[in-house]
Structure 1
């Protein structure tokens, strides 16, 4: 039986044919973002992972699109976060989803948060419990381990209110899995080797089951769809050919150090294919398809999910992994992976954002309700 799936798209200021290269980027503007949001809404996507700075300004350009908005727990006071969520739902008719981001030390230090990784999960659990209570108009004072607040003496913000503020997120360490079981409504992971991804999702579902909960899972991936497999791979290689290898090596070194892996000249991998990617960057060139395609129709590539990830997957985080192929190939890959790993949601990106979203919606999604066996 085909597993039911929902599809979300990515929405970010960085757009264009090769958005990680400034010369191929569309000049960022609110009008451009509103146009992309309206097109994604028209195409019928469930929502967008929106990393734009002003998501509430995009609501009026859409009618049904949900907005999955990243938030670092603790950066905003719980009362402010709850009020902002209420306002967003008031204007959007209840279309807000929180993307809980655990964050990295250098990023959070910029916002004045200095907890270690495991403690951040404890902070997050208390934070979102407090935010959810305030979002539901609980007026009691708060006296927790990490957050304190006086009674919430204020008029309730009128408008639609969700029964429970939905929170999606990640976390694969033991502390992260315990946090997921307690806090999250959907567990997310970047696309990875299918066996490894299945193991991650199984661990998240087991932690939730031990807490008496079900936990749907979702995959984040990029996608290139063209009429044939060869055309899709040609576009993937076209983007690589327009990418500056020296800049990618610099970014890889900076980002690896920020995550505590050591620099590009220090990192090694037991996976020969991943080591070949590292060697290529060290030598001042970009890895090619042989070093990037890790399974049929799946490859490590470049993305703008976050500026904090190393270019390509050289640290085992999977943030730039792609689905590549014809509509039939990509649909079959999604169907197979959804069953193999138990994925209920797919959050996808591709560039230019609106054009690739249109290809996927019009050419791939209709195939997912049909027989996908090769002809």
Structure 2
């Protein structure tokens, strides 16, 4: 007997400030005006996507002491945007990246519980940490934490917010005989937490939300990040683009769940994925080539190379060979506030590898960046892309994808109109929303039901 087909989860990442967006395209719109957010969200909801995802930036990034070009448009506050989108959507989940290093549990719990009420149970939190002192300069505490302490704080931060969410569980309404009014039980909303990072007590002032707690996402790929996701998250992002790499990550993370008393279906794995969609595969290949060269200008290629070389390379020709000089491996990074600084943990080895690739393929600096950087994950006609997405999910390389179009805000429109109907025809993607909350969309149980199940099992 063949196993039943898995249902595909689809979400949409509002591109905002990143290297996927093609700013020069005539169709490109604002990344900060509400009309762009609203169009994008309504398209995702029309296509019956699970959720919309917003990234976060707590400081404008710099390179060589200058603000990075893509950041000039600014970075609006996540909660403000999601609250506004709750008013113009009915079903779409609303996922925001909120930092656990420079915020406080009470404040974040209150904001997410409020968003969950305003949206009718559609909020989700991507829990992240900050690794650099550059970002910390914007905050009272300043500085930064070593990686093991960041994850330690993040775990306690999440546990503390969950205590706050759960503090209203089982509250009762009591009648006050003298005043004749109804009062909530004084135990409702009460919390006490004493730990390594937080020592707080009081009463939480937002009642139990429709989902009980927001859905929790995690994005780390390190050993600590994978364990954090297996122990505490409802979904984890993945950066792996190939089928084989995706399957390896999927198997590794899912196999970690048992030690925490969790089933495979209690954690979803959702890689980000860009796409180039056209009427035919050949047209899509040509579109992908054009888009990639638009994404990586000569100046962008040099800036990307500086992430590894940690030197000012502005004097080099982007259409010429790679620098002969080795990377500067000191701790004085030329790039400030950029995650790429962490991606290349051995710059000397990366430089050697890139020189070998460039020599073997006769690549210029720009060619190298185009061919080694982020590329479209799905390229082809609607039929090809629908088939490929389904193959990845059924082969356990993912549970679905978070799509990142290269045009904002209309870049998702064609996918919604041409690819989604094909997935629906195959019976692997919903034609209507199954329930009102994001947990319904993702097939995740209410936290109370999970706790009851764990108590019975123990």
Q: 2:113 aligns with which of 78, 86, 97?
A: 86
Give the match for residue 204 of structure 1. Answer: 253
Aligned counterpart, 1:326: 381
Residues 36-72 of structure 1: CA distance to partner in whole angstroms, max 9, x if unpaired?
2223222322111123533222221211111111122
Query: Structure 1 pair 192/181, CA: closer, same or farther in 2 (3 Å)?
Result: same
Shift of 1:82: 0.5
Equivalence for 2:193: 142
Which aligned pairs between 1:219-234 and structure 2 lie closer than 5 A?
219-234=271-286
1:132/1:165 contact within 8 Å kept? no
- Residues 358 and 26 of structure 1: CA distance in aligned 2, closer, same or farther (over 3 Å): closer
Match of 1:352 among 394, 401, 407: 407
Contact persistence 1:249–1:264 (CA under 8 A): no
Tell me how far 1:147 sits from its aligned partner.
1.4
The structure number with the bigger radius of gyration is 2
Number of the residue aligned with 2:440: none
Task: Please tell me whether residue 95 in structure 1 is matched to residue 98 in structure 2.
Answer: no
Find the aligned partners of 1:356 and 1:368 in 2 and give their Cα distance. 19
CA offset digits 1:257-309 (Å, max 9, x no partner) = 5227379887237599x93499888x343359xx74xxxxxxx6xxxxxxxxx
Q: TM-score, normalised by structure 1?
A: 0.79
Indicate the RMSD between aligned Cα atoms, in angstroms: 3.3
Q: Give the Cα separation in 2 of the matches to 1:370 and 1:356.
A: 23
Q: How many residues align?
A: 342
Between the aligned partners of 2:22 and 2:194, the Cα distance in structure 1 is 45
Q: Which stretch of structure 1 is more off in the superposition, 325-334 or 252-261?
A: 252-261
Q: Does the Cα contact within 8 Å between 1:66 and 1:95 map onto a contact in 2?
A: yes
- Counterparts in 2 of 1:19-58, with a 5 A limit? 19-21=22-24, 25-28=28-31, 29-51=33-55, 53=77, 54-58=81-85
Alignment of 1:63-212 (within 5 A): 63-105=90-132, 108-110=135-137, 111=139, 112=142, 114-137=144-167, 138-152=189-203, 156-157=205-206, 160-212=209-261
What do the CA deviations read for 1:204-253 (whole angstroms, capped 9, x no partner)?
11111222112221121111211111111121122234345332223313
Shift of 1:180: 1.4
What CA distance in whole angstroms lies between the structure 1 residues aligned with 2:134 and 2:223?
22
**How far did residue 113 of structure 1 move?**
5.3
Structure 2 unaligned residues grouped into runs of 5+? 56-75, 168-188, 311-340, 428-458
CA pair 101-277 structure 1, distance change in 2 beyond 3 A: farther
> SS at 2:190's partner residue?
coil
Aligned in 2, Cα 1:175/1:139: closer, same or farther, shift over 3 Å? Answer: same
After superposition, the C-alpha distances for 1:99-158 in whole angstroms (9 at most, x for unaligned) are 122444356534535112232221111110101111233522221111122323x5x335
| TM-score where L is the length of structure 2 | 0.66
Q: Could you say which residue in structure 1 is the equivalent of 2:448?
A: none
Deviation at 1:342, TM superposition (A): 4.3
CA contact (8 A) 1:14 1:26 kept: no
**What residue ranges of structure 1 are gaps of 5+ in the alignment?**
293-299, 301-311, 314-319
C-alpha distance in 1 between matches for 2:162 and 2:89: 25
